[in-house]
Amino acid sequence: GAGVSQSPRYKVAKRGQDVALRCDPISGHVSLFWYQQALGQGPEFLTYFQNEAQLDKSGLPSDRFFAERPEGSVSTLKIQRTQQEDSAVYLCASSLRRGGTGPDTQYFGPGTRLTVL
Amino acid sequence: AQSVAQPEDQVNVAEGNPLTVKCTYSVSGNPYLFWYVQYPNRGLQFLLKYITGDNLVKGSYGFEAEFNKSQTSFHLKKPSALVSDSALYFCAVRDGTGGFKTIFGAGTRLFVKA
């Protein structure tokens, strides 16, 4: 398909486990964003990639969160030693141009629902 | 700092009636404003955006939004609601200074009754 895909769609982890969430952006999109959406809330910015460069990681809640996009396409969000407060939907979005150049539309994936027990 | 407020948790409207979902914002400089819709178990879908120019922006599925600079508002509207419009709607803002962050409101659930 031509949209943003994310895997897995659902992930259940025991507290303390490490998890890895994958995002496949739309082909050719330069910008990639990760968001965290808690239940009943709007998405909150986590981090931004322009190609393979992580230009903004100010939204990552702790050093347990790590994101990478090594070849400028697929991205992985890793959470180490998961805690119950990490339970949320993690959304990935991509856009065609550089993130700072105007009102580029972001296209969102379906999200990964993470539940930490 | 950027912020977005959606003052209504839920909006109820009868099918065929006009609907309005409210949004106000605070941002440095000129804003870029967006509306997204979210259906259950699906990602956010883009509806429309304001860049500059006409204050009335037309988007997907018959939705439109009115930008009001003096009131710092960007309300979403539709002349005639459909039951299938029932979903969660998010307003979002990005400032025009080149930053990467997009700030989303908490969302408004629209319920259209047949």
- Predicted confidence (pLDDT) per residue in B64-83, tens digit: 999 999 999 999 999 999 99
Q: With an 8 Å Cβ cutoff, are B46 and A43 in contact?
A: no
pLDDT of the residue at B2 = 83
B4-13, B28-37, B57-66, B95-104: which range is least confident on average? Answer: B95-104
Q: Within 10 A of B88 (CB to CB), how many other CB atoms are there? A: 18
B29-32 contacts, C-beta under 8 A, 24 or more apart: B29/B95, B29/B96, B29/B97, B30/B95, B30/B96, B31/B93, B31/B94, B31/B95, B31/B96, B32/A102, B32/A103, B32/B93, B32/B94, B32/B95, B32/B96
- Within an 8 Å CB–CB cutoff, is residue B74 touching chain A? no
Confidence check: pLDDT of A1 > 70: no
- Within an 8 Å CB–CB cutoff, is residue A59 touching chain B? yes
pLDDT of the residue at A110 = 93
Q: Give A102's pLDDT tier (boundaries 50, 70, 90).
A: low
> Rg of the Cα trace of chain A?
13
Q: Which residue has the higher pLDDT, B32 or A2?
A: B32
pLDDT of the residue at A104 = 79
Q: With an 8 Å Cβ cutoff, are B102 and A105 in contact?
A: no
pLDDT of the residue at A8 = 97
> Rg of the Cα trace of chain B?
14
What would the mean pLDDT of B84-100 be, rounded to a whole number?
A: 86
Are the CB atoms for A115 and A11 separated by under 8 Å? yes
Q: With an 8 Å Cβ cutoff, are B98 and A42 in contact?
A: no
